[in-house]
């Protein structure tokens, strides 16, 4: 009898799914076993992937390969040195040395993130919000005027009111209390509605995603059982 | 050898015509010529010429004549008494021997004891020396009977350095280390007297001193016998002895009260005339201390006296009859007689012996001996001391008499002692020429203890040294202590720089009692406004530090029963629906397709056939069910319509294996082959940096492909073949060359990063995002801003795509009833829960109302 890998994978999938579902009765060893196994397997897999897909093909092979030019090998010394410096963080006494490479990484990532956010999110989103009132473009996309107008109005109001909600500037009153301006208060209150709706949508999405995952697991269990016993076919 | 002379200092031989020694620069030639005529010095072996010195009686000073008369009277009485008590023993004369050798007293019976120098004055022929007949046990300076000293002899108790020289007079000769000239002299003495040898352990300098004693003790016999040649005698020693007998009448020198050589002559007992009064008195009190050893330094002074004077080599300044040139005589020596203290000062000094000792505490011994106050060092009674100071001693060293040769010539005109006024004047003149240290000594001699000096009265600030002034307390702003406080503080500084000053430093440096300190009010002067602000500040600080009670609100604690109830209901419903594969809930066919989903369809339908499509798998393994269900309809339609060449890449480590799972399961029907139909580039490290680099140069960043082995059952066979070797990927060198860019993600941030980092490089490449339902609200703005062409959100979006794809692949349909059941269940649960809470709230309000 040859046990197919799919069957083994199905059995493990079935068992670990049940172990995770055991959390409904509270924290228990079965749930912890499943979690520990998942963490261990994931770590090992990630380490293997990093070794085989990153270190060997991108660092060691080029350094040992004769086809790589010396300038390229020289450039690859920088990631090698940087990785060694980061390894120093394993020792509390030498952790300070690893800060050099970490500082380099943080600086590069921060610069890229800021530049990407400006060019890929802030400016396009601002322009998109403004262009929502471009009815020609809306009509070109097949959107009616009123729909486009209402959509643009909702987008604009939602954006403005939501941003107003995060405006915390206030002025002191005679009694010493600090309050925002009345208009700001109203706009912030409307912004809270939009934020509430957004959070409701996010919650619905989270629930829908979790429900879909749960359905997939149930379907997987049903399929495994069906395939294993062939009863429900 | 007649033209060669020997240097008296270094002993080297020099030419006779040389004035100075060519080796030690000692003067060889005298400054003045030799004495001639009657002044000619007595040569060795020559008997002194008898002269009538009685003619000098009138020129003696009055005090000396009075002293002589009194001494004459006393000596006559003593002689009569001594003659009755003892016969043949040395008599001790209580009278003075002042100028006893004068003609007027030539009839005295003590002529045989008269020293040679005095004999030379009197002109009588010296008799045979008593030392030749006396026992060698006779002490040098003894007063009283011999047996008395024998009983009190404490030589055994003396240290060796003192006993050595004393015993040397009776020990055999042992002078191997003596100089030649002195050895010769010692030999001469040994021939005349019985001498005992020196102790071999005696230091050399003590040897020499002892030998000198022996030699000195034999000088007199040598003179009588004229048996010693004086040719080897040093010139300076000869000069020391020349004319000393002629100079002993100087009043100042007599006042020096130094014993003569004859007093310490070991060959004979000193006579009463030879012993000075001060010495008599002293020895009567402390006879033991007056041993010969203690007075060796005096013997040194007498070294030259016993020898025959060399007239031709006598130093001119030592000649009494030749007026010494003042330029040659040291000034301080010339004025030494004037340094005699006034009588009043002497009385004060003598009244306090300790003060006298302290006065000369810093003065060297030789200067003490030379000073006129030398007599006060002896332990004499006050009256005798005063008398001794007033009366010049005839026992003064002869060589010192020569120092005062000028005054000797003038002593015939003026008395030996001048009055107080003149003394004080001359004393001032003396101190002007004296060294500073000697002047200071003289000033300090007035008092032995530091005299208290009042800072405010006697000591002017300008007299203080600068550094002392700098140490003085300075005036300050603080109230100065009253004058009474200074006056009451009479602390005498005994040490340091302020020694001798009184009241210089106050009892408490810098501060004096100022009385009761002022009372300052500690009440803060603040206005009402300031106090109000202070109160406000205090309230703010109190509010900051005061604990704020947490507003507790009743958490909706999920009871285990409720949780189990909900779980059971949900699981049962889903299980039933899935098991039954029901299609209760219709697919969204009747609803218009949302623009986002429609845009995704357009993109999928608009890509060229076989065109490269970049797919980023950015989701976790836990979301694989949803993501595969959401992505499968779009990929199904796209693959079905265009069969694009897919390139999968992921910034997550599990992206590669999830890609293989998606290809092998969701798209299994299309039989896509790795490396041919699709490229699984695998993991892209670096996060945003990796995405940015990949967008710039995809082939350079992701060179290898995560190729799964052809054996689909071998999940662990992972190899990295080179990618981008086949068309159309080989020509795809930039991100803009991809026909479409599909992002499959469950995280809005992953979609945002890909969108942001590829904005500048993707060009017109359409972007479609297949997201999880939970990330769709966050990604929707990117569709609204036209940054992405389409958005497929979760299972609902998949259902919309499936409805437009003829129900393929059917995954959404399989999950749709369960999904809707779960949504309905959730809605009902929320509604029921809300209504339940509403009911509970209304009940509580009603109960509260009833209670009120």
Question: With an 8 Å Cβ cutoff, are B689 and A109 in contact?
Answer: yes
**Which range has the worst mean pLDDT, B1-5, B115-119, B265-269, B367-371?**
B265-269
Nearest to B777 among A49, A198, A220 (CB): A198
Residue B345, burial from CB neighbour count under 10 angstroms (0-12, 13-18, 19+): middle
Contacts of A153 in chain B (CB under 8 A): none
Q: Closest-CA residue in chain A for B685?
A: A54
Q: Are strands B645-650 and B612-618 parallel, antiparallel or unpaired?
A: parallel
Q: Do B777 and A218 touch (CB under 8 A)?
A: no
Interface check B391 vs A, CB under 8 A: no
Return the residue of A nearest to B795 by Cα.
A212
Asked if B776 lies within 8 A of A124 by C-beta distance, the reply is no
Q: With a cut of 60, say whether residue B57 has pLDDT above it.
A: yes
Residue with tokens 């550094």: B467
Task: For residue range B559-572, list pLDDT tens digits in order.
Answer: 778 888 888 888 88
User: Quick one: pLDDT band at residue A40, thresholds 50, 70, 90?
Assistant: very high
| Torsion, CA A60, CA A62, CA A65, CA A67, rounded to 10 | 180
The answer, for B559 touching chain A at a CB cutoff of 8 Å, is no
Q: Contacts of residue B625 in chain A, CB cutoff 8 Å? A: 212-213, 215-217, 219-220
Q: What is the predicted pLDDT for the residue at B771?
A: 92
Q: Report yes or no: A116 at the B interface, CB cutoff 8 Å.
A: yes
pLDDT at B614: 92
**Closest by Cα among B652, B640, B603 to B770:** B603
Residue B648 confidence class, pLDDT cut points 50, 70, 90: very high
Residue with tokens 């009761």: B516
Q: Nearest to residue B182, comparing CAs of B131, B225, B221, B216?
A: B216
**Using a CB-CB distance cutoff of 8 angstroms, which residues of chain B are in contact with residue A117?**
756
Is residue A144 within 8 angstroms of chain B, CB to CB? no
Write the pLDDT tens digit of every residue in B727-781.
Answer: 777 888 888 889 999 999 999 999 999 999 998 888 889 999 999 998 998 898 8
Residues of B in contact with A155 (CB under 8 A): 784
pLDDT at position A192: 92
B501-502 vs A178-179, strand pairing mode: unpaired
Q: Which of A5, A117, A121 sits opposite B715 (nearest CB)?
A: A5
Q: What tokens were used for A96?
A: 């300070």
Q: How confident is the model at residue B505 (pLDDT cuts 50, 70, 90)?
A: low
What is the rounded distance in angstroms from the CA atom of residue B113 to the CA atom of residue B622?
145
Give helix A182-229 / helix A145-165 axis angle, nearest 10°. 110
Contact A219 B775 (CB under 8 A): no
Using the Cβ of B818 and the Cβ atoms of chain A, whether some distance falls under 8 Å is answered with yes
Which secondary structure element, helix H or strand E, spans residue B95, and what is its range?
Answer: none
Q: What's the whole-number mean pLDDT along residues B660-671?
A: 85
* Nearest CB neighbour to A206, from listed B774, B793, B822: B774
User: How many C-alpha atoms does B453 have within 13 Å on its Cβ side?
Assistant: 17
| Dihedral pair phi/psi, residue B734, rounded to 5° | -140, 165
A contacts of B626 (beta carbons < 8 Å): 209, 212-213, 216
Establish if A22 touches chain B: CB-CB under 8 angstroms.
Answer: no
Q: How far apart are CA B247 and CA B398, in angstroms?
A: 6
CA B538 to chain centre: 53
Q: Is B822 on the interface with A (CB under 8 A)?
A: yes
- Residue B745's pLDDT is what? 93
User: Does residue A38 carry a pLDDT above 60?
Assistant: yes
Q: How does residue A26 score in pLDDT terms, banded at 50, 70 and 90?
A: confident
Neighbours of B628 (CB within 10 A): 23
Q: How far apart are the CA of B475 and the nearest CA of chain A, in angstroms?
A: 58
pLDDT greater at residue B205 or residue A65: A65
Sign of the torsion formed by the C-alpha atoms of B494, B496, B501 and B502: negative
A229 touches chain B (CB under 8 A): no
Helix (H) or strand (E) holding B630: helix B624-641
For residue B771, give the 3-state DSSP assignment: strand
Nearest CA in chain B to A106: B689
Alpha-carbon distance B526 to nearest alpha carbon in chain A (angstroms): 23
Residues in B touching A46 (Cβ below 8 Å): 653-654
- Contact call for B795 and A212, based on CB within 8 A: yes
Q: How confident is the model at residue B714 (pLDDT cuts 50, 70, 90)?
A: low
Rounded to the nearest 10°, the torsion over CA B142, B147, B149, B150 is 130
For residue B571, the chain A residues in CB contact (below 8 A) are 218
The single-letter DSSP state of residue B617 is E
Distance CA B798, CA B13 (A): 140
Angle separating helix axes B595-606 and B624-641, nearest 10 degrees:
50
**Exposure of A180 by Cβ count < 10 A (0-12 exposed, 13-18 middle, 19+ buried)?**
middle
pLDDT of A210 above 70: yes
Closest by CA to A215, choosing from B320, B582, B688, is B582
A 79-98 residues inside an 8 A Cβ radius of B: none
pLDDT value of position B827: 92
Which of A54, A125, A216 has its CB closest to that of B625? A216
3-state SS class at B394: coil
CB-nearest to B760 from A54, A58, A119 is A119
User: Contact B38/B30 with Cβ under 8 angstroms?
Assistant: no
Residue (of B321, B330, B317, B398) closest to B116 by Cα position: B398
The two structure tokens encoding residue B299 = 């013997």
Name the minimum distance, in Å, from the CA of B705 to any CA of chain A: 9
| Mean of pLDDT values over B297-309 | 46
Determine the average pLDDT of the residues in B91-106: 46
Nearest CB to A57 within list B720, B760, B776: B720
Does residue B45 come out as left (phi exceeding 0), alpha (psi in the -120 to 50 range) or beta? left
Q: Is residue B291 predicted with pLDDT exceeding 60? A: no
Residue B278 reports pLDDT greater than 70: no
Test A212 with B682 for CB contact under 8 angstroms.
no
* Nearest C-alpha in B relative to A7: B713
Integer Cα distance of B737 and B743 in angstroms: 16
Give dist(CA B336, CA B434) in Å, integer: 10
Strands B4-6, B13-15: pairing is antiparallel
CB B119 within 8 Å of CB B127 = no
Residue B435 falls in which region: left (phi positive, over 0), alpha (psi -120 to 50) or beta: beta
Whether B718 sits inside 8 A of A54 (CB atoms) is: no
Whether the per-residue pLDDT at B503 is higher than 60: the answer is: yes
User: Does ipTM top 0.95?
Assistant: no
B680: enclosing H helix or E strand = strand B678-683
Segment (H or E) for B596: helix B595-606
User: What's residue B649's pLDDT?
Assistant: 92
Q: Which has the higher per-residue pLDDT, B53 or B351?
A: B53
Mutation target vs B (from A106, A194, A207, A215; most B CBs, 10 A cutoff): A215
For B604-617, give one letter per residue: b (16+ CB within 10 A) or e. Answer: beebeeebbbbbbb
Query: Of B408-412, B746-750, B827-831, which range is least confident?
Result: B408-412
Instruction: Tell me the nearest-neighbour CA distance from B510 into chain A, angstroms.
Output: 56
Q: Closest to A128 (Cβ–Cβ): which among B571, B687, B786?
A: B786
Helix (H, G, I), strand (E, B) or coil at B400: helix
Measured between beta carbons, the chain A residues lying within 8 angstroms of B782 are: 124-125
Bridge partners, residue B616, by sequence: B649, B743
What is the DSSP annotation of A155-191? HHHHHHHHHHHT----EE-TTS-EE--HHHHHHHHHH
pLDDT digits (tens, 9 = 90+) for B6-23: 888 888 888 888 888 888
Å from A128 to nearest chain B CA? Answer: 4
**A61-80 residues touching B, CB cutoff 8 A:** none
| Beta carbons of B607 and B790 less than 8 angstroms apart | no
Q: Decide the pairing of beta strands B13-15 and B453-454.
A: unpaired
**Residue listed under structure tokens 């006024």:** B421
Q: What's the gap in Å between the CA of B706 and the closest CA on chain A?
A: 8
Taking contacts as CB-CB distances below 8 angstroms, the residues of chain B near A124 are 759, 782, 785, 787
Average pLDDT over residues B700-707: 80
pLDDT of residue B427: 47
Q: What local confidence, expressed as pLDDT, does residue B74 receive?
A: 75
Q: Which residue of B has its CA nearest to A233?
A: B579
Among A114, A212, A225, A233, the residue to mutate for chain B (most B Cβ within 10 A): A212
Contact B816/A at CB under 8 A: no
| Chain B environment of A24 (Cβ under 8 Å) | 563-564, 567
How far apart are the C-alpha atoms of B61 and B415, rounded to whole Å?
A: 5
B391: pLDDT strictly greater than 80: no
Chain-centroid distance, C-alpha B852: 90
User: Residue B770, SS3?
Assistant: strand
Cβ of residue B585 closer than 8 Å to a chain A Cβ: no
**pLDDT reading at B716 higher than 60:** no
Task: Give the side-chain half-sphere CA count within 13 A for B500.
Answer: 11
Spatial CA neighbour of B618 closest among B757, B716, B721: B757
The count of other CB atoms within 10 Å of the CB of residue A65 is 10
Task: Quote the minimal CA–CA distance from A208 to chain B in Å.
Answer: 6
pLDDT > 60? residue B215: no
A202·B778 Cβ contact <8 A: yes
* Higher pLDDT pick, B317 / A97: A97
Q: Are strands B645-650 and B678-683 parallel, antiparallel or unpaired?
A: parallel
| Nearest-neighbour CA in chain A from B553: distance (Å) | 21
Chain-chain contact of B654 with A213 (C-beta, under 8 angstroms): no
**Interatomic CA distance for residues B739 and B605, integer angstroms:** 11
Segment of B74-78, B100-104, B368-372, B485-489 carrying the highest mean pLDDT: B74-78
Would the CB atoms of B815 and A219 count as touching at under 8 Å? yes
């Amino acid at each position: 009898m040859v046990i197919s890998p799919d069957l083994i994978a199905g059995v493990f999938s079935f068992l670990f799914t049940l172990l995770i579902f055991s959390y409904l009765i509270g924290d228990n060893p079965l749930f912890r076993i499943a979690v520990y196994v998942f963490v261990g397997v994931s770590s090992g897999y990630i380490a293997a992937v990093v070794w085989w897909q990153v270190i060997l093909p991108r660092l060691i092979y080029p350094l040992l390969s004769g086809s790589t030019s010396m300038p390229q090998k020289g450039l690859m010394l920088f990631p090698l040195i940087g990785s060694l410096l980061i390894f120093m963080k394993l020792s509390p006494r030498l952790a300070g040395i690893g800060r050099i490479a970490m500082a380099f990484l943080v600086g590069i990532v921060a610069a890229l993130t800021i530049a990407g956010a400006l060019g890929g999110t802030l400016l396009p989103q601002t322009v998109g919000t403004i262009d929502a009132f471009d009815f020609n473009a809306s009509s070109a996309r097949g959107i009616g005027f009123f729909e486009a107008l209402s959509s643009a109005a909702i987008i604009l109001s939602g954006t403005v009111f939501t941003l107003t909600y995060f405006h915390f500037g206030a002025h002191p009153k005679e009694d010493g209390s600090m309050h925002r301006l009345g208009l700001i208060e109203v706009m912030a209150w409307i912004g809270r509605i939009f934020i509430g709706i957004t959070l409701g949508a996010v919650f619905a999405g989270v629930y829908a995603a979790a429900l879909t995952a749960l359905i997939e697991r149930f379907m997987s269990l049903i399929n495994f059982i069906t395939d294993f016993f062939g009863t429900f076919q | 050898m007649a033209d060669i002379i020997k240097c008296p200092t270094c002993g080297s031989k020099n030419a006779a015509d040389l004035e100075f020694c060519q080796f030690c620069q000692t003067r060889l030639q005298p400054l003045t010529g030799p004495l001639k005529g009657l002044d000619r010095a007595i040569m060795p072996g020559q008997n002194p010429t008898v002269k009538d010195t009685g003619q000098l009686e009138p020129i003696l000073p009055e005090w000396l004549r009075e002293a002589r008369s009194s001494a004459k009277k006393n000596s006559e009485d003593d002689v009569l008494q001594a003659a009755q008590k003892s016969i043949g023993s040395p008599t001790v004369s209580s009278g003075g021997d002042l100028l006893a050798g004068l003609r007027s007293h030539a009839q005295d019976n003590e002529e045989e004891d008269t020293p040679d120098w005095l004999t030379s004055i009197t002109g009588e022929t010296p008799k045979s020396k008593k030392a030749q007949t006396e026992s060698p046990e006779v002490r040098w300076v003894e007063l009283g009977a011999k047996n008395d000293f024998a009983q009190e002899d404490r030589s055994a108790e003396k240290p060796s350095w003192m006993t050595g020289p004393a015993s040397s007079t009776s020990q055999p000769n042992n002078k191997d280390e003596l100089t030649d000239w002195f050895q010769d002299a010692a030999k001469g003495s040994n021939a005349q007297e019985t001498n005992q040898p020196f102790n071999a352990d005696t230091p050399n300098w003590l040897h020499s001193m002892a030998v000198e004693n022996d030699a000195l003790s034999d000088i007199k016999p040598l003179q009588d016998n004229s048996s010693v040649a004086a040719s080897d005698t040093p010139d300076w020693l000869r000069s020391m002895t020349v004319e000393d007998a002629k100079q002993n009448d100087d009043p100042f020198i007599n006042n020096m009260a130094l014993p003569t050589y004859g007093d310490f002559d070991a060959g004979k007992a000193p006579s009463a005339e030879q012993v000075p009064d001060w010495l008599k008195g002293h020895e009567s009190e402390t006879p033991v201390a007056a041993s010969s050893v203690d007075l060796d330094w005096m013997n040194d002074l007498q070294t030259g006296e016993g020898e025959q004077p060399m007239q031709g080599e006598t130093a001119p300044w030592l000649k009494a009859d030749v007026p010494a040139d003042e330029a040659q005589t040291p000034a301080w020596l010339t004025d030494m007689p004037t340094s005699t203290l006034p009588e009043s000062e002497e009385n004060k000094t003598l009244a306090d012996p300790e003060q006298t000792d302290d006065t000369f505490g810093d003065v060297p011994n030789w200067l003490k001996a030379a000073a006129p106050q030398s007599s006060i060092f002896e332990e004499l009674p006050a009256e005798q001391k005063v008398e001794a100071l007033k009366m010049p001693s005839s026992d003064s060293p002869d060589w010192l008499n020569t120092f005062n040769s000028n005054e000797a010539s003038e002593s015939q005109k003026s008395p030996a002692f001048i009055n107080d006024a003149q003394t004080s004047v001359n004393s001032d003149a003396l101190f002007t020429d004296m060294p500073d240290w000697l002047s200071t000594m003289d000033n300090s001699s007035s008092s032995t203890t530091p005299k208290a000096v009042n800072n405010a009265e006697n000591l002017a600030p300008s007299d203080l040294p600068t550094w002392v002034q700098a140490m003085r307390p300075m005036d300050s702003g603080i109230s100065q202590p009253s004058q009474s406080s200074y006056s009451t503080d009479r602390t005498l500084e005994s040490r340091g720089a302020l020694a001798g000053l009184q009241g210089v430093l106050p009892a408490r440096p810098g501060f004096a009692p100022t009385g009761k300190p002022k009372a300052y009010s500690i009440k803060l002067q603040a206005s009402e406004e300031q106090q109000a602000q202070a109160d406000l500040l205090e309230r703010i600080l109190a509010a900051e530090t005061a604990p704020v009670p947490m507003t507790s609100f009743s958490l909706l604690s999920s009871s285990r029963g409720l949780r189990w109830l909900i779980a059971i209901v949900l699981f049962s419903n889903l299980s039933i629906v899935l098991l039954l594969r029901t299609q209760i809930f219709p697919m969204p066919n009747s609803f218009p397709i949302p623009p986002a989903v429609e845009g995704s369809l357009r993109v999928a339908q608009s890509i060229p056939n076989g065109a490269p499509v970049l797919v980023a798998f950015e989701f976790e393994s836990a979301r694989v069910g949803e993501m595969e269900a959401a992505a499968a309809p779009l990929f199904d339609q796209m693959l079905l319509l265009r069969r694009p060449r897919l390139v999968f890449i992921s910034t997550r480590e599990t992206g590669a294996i999830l890609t293989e799972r998606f290809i092998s399961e969701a798209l299994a029907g299309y039989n896509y082959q790795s490396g041919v139909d699709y490229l699984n580039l695998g993991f892209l490290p670096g996060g945003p940096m990796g995405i940015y680099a990949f967008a710039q140069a995809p082939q350079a960043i992701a060179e290898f492909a995560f190729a799964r082995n052809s054996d689909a059952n071998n999940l662990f066979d992972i190899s990295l073949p080179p990618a981008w070797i086949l068309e159309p990927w080989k020509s795809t060198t930039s991100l803009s060359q991809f026909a479409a860019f599909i992002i499959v993600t469950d995280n809005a941030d992953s979609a945002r990063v890909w969108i942001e980092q590829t904005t500048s490089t993707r060009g017109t490449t359409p972007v479609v995002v297949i997201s999880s339902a939970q990330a769709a609200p966050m990604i929707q703005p990117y569709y609204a801003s036209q940054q992405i062409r389409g958005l497929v959100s979760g299972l609902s979006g998949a259902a919309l795509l499936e409805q437009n794809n003829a129900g393929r692949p059917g995954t959404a349909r399989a999950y749709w009833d369960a999904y809707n059941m779960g949504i309905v269940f959730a809605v009902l649960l929320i509604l029921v829960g809300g209504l339940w809470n509403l009911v509970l709230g209304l009940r509580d309000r009603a109960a509260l109302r009833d209670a009120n």
